[in-house]
Structure 1
Amino acid sequence: MRGQNKQSRILASMAGKQDKAAAREAARAKREESRAKRAQIFEAFKMQRREDPLLIPLMLGVFLGATAIVFLLGFPWHAQWMTLPLGVALGVLGAVVLFGRRVQSTVYAKAEGQPGAAAWALENLRGGWRVSTAVAGTTQLDAVHRVLGRPGVILVAEGAPSRVKNLLAQEKKRVSRLVGDTPIYDVLVGNEEGQVPLRKLQRHIMKFPRNISSAQVDSLETRLQALSSRGAALPKGPMPQGARMRNVQRTIRRR
C-alpha cells in the first residue's frame, strides 16, 4: 500500500511538472506571437511613413485633439485631471485607427488595376462569406469571382469591360441553372460609371440585403462545387506592375 501511495505521489509530481512546462511553453509562444505582431506593425508604420508624409502630423493632431477635448470637457465639474487619462486613451485609439485607414488606402491604391486585386479584396472579407476566385477567366487575366453569403450569389468581375461583361453574363447564366430563385448580383470592379472602385468593393458587398439563411448558403455551396472552374490561375493577391504574365497565360490556354 505504501509503495502504491509513493508511486501515486511520484506520478502526480511528474504530471504537475509537465503541466508547468506546458504552461511555460504556451506563455513563451504567446510572447513570441505578440512580439511578431508588434514587429509587423512597426514595419508597416515605417513603410507608410516613407510614402505618406502627412501620417505623423495627422496622427499627432488626432491624439492631441482628442486629449484636449476630453480634458476641456472635465472643466465644468473641475475634473479635468481625472478625465485626462481617458483623453489620452481616446487619443491613442484615434491615432491607431487613422494609421490603419491610411495604410489600407495606400494598399488599395497600389493594388488598383492589377490582375487579382479584386480576388485579394474578396478573400479579406470579414464574416461568413464563401469566396471562390477566378471561376471564369480569359487569357488576358480578366476574371469573374463568386461570393456566396446571406444575400445569395454575388459575381464579381475584374478586367477590361469589353471582355468581362460577356464573361460575367455567361457565368451568371451558368450559375442560375443551379441556384433557382436565389438572388444573383453582379459587380464590375473599376472606376468608370456603373462600376465599383476596388477600395469600396468590400463595403459594397456588405450592403446587399440578407435574402437567404445560413443553411441555404451551405446547400448552395454544395451545388455550386459541381461547376468546374474555367478561370485563370490568378496569383494570391494583386500582381506587381510590369510582372511577366507569359507563363500564367500559357497555363490558362492549356485549360
Structure 2
Amino acid sequence: MMVPASFSKTVQFRVSEKKCDWEIKEEPQPHPKRETVEEGSSRMWKGEQRQHDLDDIGRYRALVGQVDSTIEVEGLNNQDLAEYANSCRMWTGFAEIAKARGRGYNRQAPVPVLPETPRALLAAGIPNLPICHTVRHIVRETTISNRSHRHGIEPSLLASVPELLQSPVAIFKAGAGRVAVALDAVDTIGQPLVAYFDLAVPLSVGGGQFRSGELVNFMLSVYGRESLISEIESARAAGECNVFNEEALFSLAVQALQRRKAA
C-alpha cells in the first residue's frame, strides 16, 4: 500500500494472522520549557533596568531639549541602551547647573564637565585630564549683556556641551597652551558654537571632587563665534587644525555664508 507523501505522522506496519493494517504511532511532543524562578527574576530585572535607563536618558534629554539627538533609543538593545544611559548620567550633572544658569550654586565652585578627555580630543594631542568649568563662567555664558563674556547662550544648548565634545567638528590651536573646539551646533542667531580650553592648568580653587592645584583641562568659555569658519580654515592652512567632521564643517560654512548674504 502506498502512503501519501503528505502524511506527516510516523507510520508503523503491523502483520497479524487475520489482517494487515496500519497503526498510527504518535511522536511524543516535548513539553514547553518552563521558566525558572531565576530566569523570571532576571527577565524582570532586565525590564526594570531598561526602564531606569530610559528614565535617565529622558531626564537628560529634557535638560537639552533643543538639541536634536541622532540616537533612537527605543531601538537600542539592552547593552547599548545601558551604555548610552551611563553617558547621559555622566552629562546630567553639568547639564543641570547649566540649565539653572548657575543659580543656587557657589559661583567660585569648579563644575565637572567630563571626568576624562574624550577620544577625539585625545587624538588631537590634548592631555587626558578631567574637563572643568566654574559656576561663574556658566552665569556669564548664559547672561545676555553687552559686557565682556556675556554671551547669552541658551542654557539648554550650554547643557549639551559634554555630549557635543564627544564628536567635535574641528580642533585648532588658539594660542600657547590653548585650543578651540568647534562644536556641531549653532547659537540662537545661527553662529557656530566654539569652546575654548586652557590645557593642563592647576585649579586655583578646589571644591566637590576637585582639589586645589589639581591639573585639569579648563573650559574657558563657550559661545557662538561668527569668524569661527575662517579661523578654522586659517589654522588648517597652517597645519594647526584637526578636522573630524567635514560634512558638519561644510554645513556650518554654508550657514555662515547665508547669514552674511542676509545681513
The TM-score bracket by the shorter chain reads under 0.3
Higher Cα radius of gyration? 2
TM-score calculated relative to the size of structure 1: 0.24
The one of the two structures with greater contact order (alpha-carbon pairs below 8 A, sep at least 6) is: 1
Return the structure number with greater helix share: 1
Return the structure number with greater strand share: 2
